[in-house]
Amino acid sequence: MEKKPPSARTEASPVSPALLLAAVLLLNAVLYLGLNGLYTSSGRAETDSGLCPFGYFRLGAGKNCSPWLSCEAIGREVRRLKCVGEGAVKKAFLSEWKENKVVISQLTNSELKEDFLHGLKMLKALQSKYVVRLLGYCEQQFTILTEYHPLGSLRGLNETLHIPKYKGMNTWHRRLMLAIDYVSIIRYLHSSPLGTLVMCDSNDLEKVLSQYLLTSDFHVLVNDLDALPLVNRSAGKLVKCGHRELRGDFVAPEQRWPYGEEVPFEDDLMPPYDEKTDIWKIPDVTNFFLGHVEGSDIVRLHLFDIHAACKKTDPAERPSAQQVLDTYRKVLILLIREAAVPGTREML
């Protein structure tokens, strides 16, 4: 009887589960970043192909686009359920429209109606995959209708990740992806269809986190666009975030009163600044995203240089949001590759 060659009897070596997991993570990251890159390479305003034409919206798994709801339609078809939040400008109500949960935002301070209307203008103009979906509005009644996201603002991220249902999301790579989403939004605002916009509602970490929503599929959307002034360098137009003195290390150095304690603050004497104030704050926000899970310190180590650049005192020396985003993406891919090679992390 003829013997089979040894190669025919050789069995394939079992694949390490850790290697399989790393391969899956790497594939997911490549797909995630590759799809994200479709929006950055295009000359258009990063409009999601799943979105409807301007003035229309689609909810959930629905295939048809509906026109933004008018004052009459909101009054007739939308039922308020309960208050779910309140800020300086408006109050938010969980509501229902055709068996869909939605949110009605209502102006609460008439002195801030210009801020409210500015936020509505921005919301209409910036509809994209980065911005909460607008469903309708009524300027006469200072009412805005948007999509509902049950996980709420980013302030509750850590609490959400400790819920048994979401504990599987509490990993360094998922947290880094959330930071990538955040920086993607900043990059979008800095190169928006309207020009370079500065996220001014960002004087402390809690305030920043309250401006963004966490979606059920764990992405980040910007929700509050009430304070979004325009930088126009060609016209020599810079911005100031409000008319009061800003203090603390969270705000950028150029946002602080430059003339010392002996000179009382005067808004007219306060120098304006540009969008690099947003860059200064990125490391602090990302530090919150990363939390204290296994692997997060390794991520921080890899982001050390770009974060140090973000904290340059001279705004002109800070990187652009695009440069920060590119670095974050490279670090995500690099670290997932390292996780696939045993012993790599010990070598760092």
The domain ranges of the chain are 64-148, 150-341
What is the model's pLDDT at position 152? 95
For residue 56, give Cα distances in angstroms to 59, 76, 118. 10, 19, 20
Longest dimension (CA), the chain: 102
What is the model's pLDDT at position 39? 40
Q: What is the DSSP letter of 89?
A: S
Q: Can you give the pLDDT of all 348 residues of the chain as single tens digits? A: 555 455 444 455 555 665 666 666 666 666 556 545 544 433 334 555 467 899 999 987 778 899 999 999 999 999 999 999 888 889 999 999 999 999 999 999 888 999 999 999 999 999 999 999 999 999 999 999 999 999 999 999 999 999 999 999 999 999 999 999 999 999 999 999 999 999 999 999 999 999 999 999 999 999 999 999 999 988 989 999 999 999 999 999 999 999 999 999 999 999 999 999 999 999 999 999 999 999 999 999 999 999 999 999 999 999 999 999 999 999 999 999 887 665 544 444
Question: Which CB contacts under 8 angstroms, 24+ apart, belong to 300-306?
Answer: 301/348, 302/331, 302/334, 302/335, 303/327, 303/328, 303/331
Phi and psi based region of residue 126 (left: phi greater than 0; alpha: psi -120 to 50; beta: remaining):
alpha
The CA distance from 272 to 291, in Å, is: 33
What is the model's pLDDT at position 169? 95
Alpha carbon 251 to its chain centroid, in Å, reads 18
What CATH number labels 150-341?
Answer: 1.10.510.10
Class of CATH domain 64-148:
alpha beta
The closest of 229, 252, 256 to 244, measured between CA atoms, is: 256
What is the model's pLDDT at position 60? 76
What is the model's pLDDT at position 13? 54
Strand arrangement, sheet containing 100-107:
78-86, 90-97, 100-107, 143-147, 134-138
DSSP string, 197-226: E---S-SSHHHHHHTEEE-TTS-EEE---S
What is the model's pLDDT at position 51? 76
The closest of 33, 220, 64, 39 to 131, measured between CA atoms, is: 220
